[in-house]
Amino acid sequence: MTDAYVETTILADILLKPKSSKQERALAALYRYERTMLPVYSIKEWKAGPLDYFAYFHDKLVETKSLQKTYRAVAALARGNRKDTAMEAIAAAASVRQSRGLTGLAGGDDRDQADFYRLNIMQLIIRSWRKRRKVTTQVVDELPCYVESEPRIGKGGYFDLHPQKCDPDQECCLAPLLKAQPQRLQALRESISKTSTRKEDIKRRQALKSLIKHPGEKVDRETCRHLGDAVFAFFCPEGAVVLTTNLRDHQPLAAAVGRSAEKP
Amino acid sequence: MSDTAPITFPGIRIKHSVRPPDETGPPDTDRKDSTQPSDVGTAYERFVVGATVMDIDRFYDAAPGTSSQILTALEILKQAIDLLGQAQQSTIAIETDRIVQRFKLLLPKLFQCRAVGDGFGMIITSVHVAFENLNGTPATQVQIRTIWRILRELRNVPAMSVDHALRSIDEMEATGLEVDAPEVGTLLEEFDATDND
């Protein structure tokens, strides 16, 4: 395949993991293809997901003015798919960080360290947003119902990432294209295990069912959001692969509609 | 009164702007103070083209015996700019790197002045991270010159906006410096909702 249809995880690895092996692999993967296409749906998911977590971490640093308190606060959250080892991983990273580099600038003072990371994360969030459309050779599948608004620092120094969702007053702009191919929707639905207890699988099956059974109904922004990974398989052009780090979810969806998924 | 007459402030010394022909090269050795406004790049300088320039130190003049973060920042920035100016003039690589090492020692002191503003803090942390990411490899002359120019700009506008600072950081990155702290991505990876394999 000469073309890649770039999914959210790749965008996150490139923009939010500076100097990491994941960033290196993702960038190298883009060079494998003649044409790399970034759908705006990836940008939307990236802003509502990874970028939002970064903004949360930033805001917690603003609130607590302490790196240690921020670790504890974040670890106390029972968020989505956060792994059990999160706190250990953060503690290990902090230890590595303290053993190199940072001690030269912020020393061991907790407030200094909090400020160091606050400034770095603020910079990364805004600069990564500005780079988002420069990652691939093309940005495709624009979403007229979604406004790409730059993250900004709002009241009290907290990040304002709104809007993260589409306009609630209009139908999802993807709806007519999705509804025009019910067999494709059906194939995608059948590729998701009926017995899966994962929340995202259940929501995706429901969203696909709603589109298939009730084509006359308005497709709202929640349905569009729940389609998630299925959107990439559905819109991936012929001759292209879905480029993702999440093969587990994307491979069966892509295969159901005659496409394939590759990882970096 | 003429519209083009220079603006004057009682009791404040006004300097006439001097625009050397090319500030993209090393600093002019004849200039007594390398921290004076130059002719390139800055919005501040573009604003004052053809007008008069007031010495930045006069804006933040303090009574003897008093101190503030901004005064401290201006003083340390002056030292930093002078060092990077010397580094650019040196033709011996080892000497250049030694001067840069001395410059890096000023960064923690500048970081302690970050209450001046987030734009200020962002530039200082980015310069620090950029040198950390070089892992001891000496900076190139282009990189030194760029940081020198950015710090001069920062000294002219210490309470720099975040947006202005981000543009300066982009300029650093364009010279091959890596300005993002690598551990930031690692620290937050576990909270990443993208569910990587």
Say if the Cβ atoms of B118 and A119 lie within 8 Å.
yes
Is residue A240 within a helix (H) or strand (E), and if so which, with residue range?
strand A240-243
Name every chain A residue with its beta carbon within 8 A of the beta carbon of B192: 12, 16, 49-50, 53
**Inter-chain residue contact A17 with B129, CB threshold 8 Å:** no
A105/B197 touch (CB, cutoff 8 Å), yes or no: no
> Over the stretch A22-48, which tens digit does the pLDDT of each residue have?
899 999 999 999 999 999 999 999 999
Q: How far is B153 from chain A (nearest CA, A)?
A: 19
Residue B42 pLDDT: 53
B180 touches chain A (CB under 8 A): yes
Q: How does residue A169 score in pLDDT terms, banded at 50, 70 and 90? A: confident
B115 touches chain A (CB under 8 A): no
Q: Is A4 helix (H, G, I), strand (E, B) or coil?
A: strand
What residues of B are in contact with residue A100 (Cβ under 8 Å)?
A: 132
Q: Do A101 and B132 touch (CB under 8 A)?
A: yes
Range of the domain at B58: 14-186
**Closest chain B CA to residue A124:** B180
CA distance A51 to A54: 5
Cβ contact (<8 Å) for B191 and A126? Answer: no
**Euclidean distance between CA atoms B9 and B6, whole angstroms:** 10
Residue B196 lies in a domain: no
pTM of the model: 0.80
Give the closest-approach CA distance of A48 to chain B in angstroms.
10
Q: What is the pLDDT of residue A132?
A: 96
Q: How far apart are CA A12 and CA A132, in angstroms?
A: 10
To the nearest whole Å, the CA of B83 is away from the closest chain A CA by 18
In a domain, B53, yes or no: yes
Cα separations in angstroms, B5 against A53, B1, B15, B88 = 54, 7, 14, 38
In this complex, do B162 and A153 lie within 8 Å of one another by their Cβ atoms?
Answer: yes
- State pLDDT tens for residues A40-84: 999 999 999 889 888 988 999 999 999 888 888 877 775 554 443
Q: Is residue B4 part of a domain?
A: no
Mapping DSSP to helix (H, G, I), strand (E, B) and coil, where does residue A134 land?
Answer: helix
Identify the residue whose tokens are 């734009």.
B119
- Sequence-distant (6+) residues with CB within 8 A of A95 are none
Domain segments of chain A as ranges: 3-262
Q: Is residue B3 part of a domain?
A: no
The answer to whether A192 and A207 are in contact (CB under 8 A) is: no
Evaluate if residue A231 carries a pLDDT over 90. yes
pLDDT tens digits for A142-153?
988 888 999 999
pLDDT at A94 over 60: no
Structure ipTM: 0.81
Maximum average pLDDT range among A108-117, A156-165, B168-177? B168-177
**Contact A106/B108, CB-based, under 8 Å?**
yes
Q: How confident is the model at residue A175 (pLDDT cuts 50, 70, 90)?
A: confident
Provide the CA A168 distance to its chain's centre, in angstroms: 21
**pLDDT on residue B68:** 81
The CA distance from B7 to B5, in Å, is: 6
Cis amide bond preceding A237, omega within 30: no
Does residue B174 belong to the interface with chain A, where contact is any CB pair within 8 Å? no
Indicate the number of domains in chain B: 1
Which residues neighbour A90 within 8 Å (Cβ) at sequence distance 6 or greater?
A: A71, A74, A75, B187, B190
Report the mean per-residue pLDDT for chain B: 77
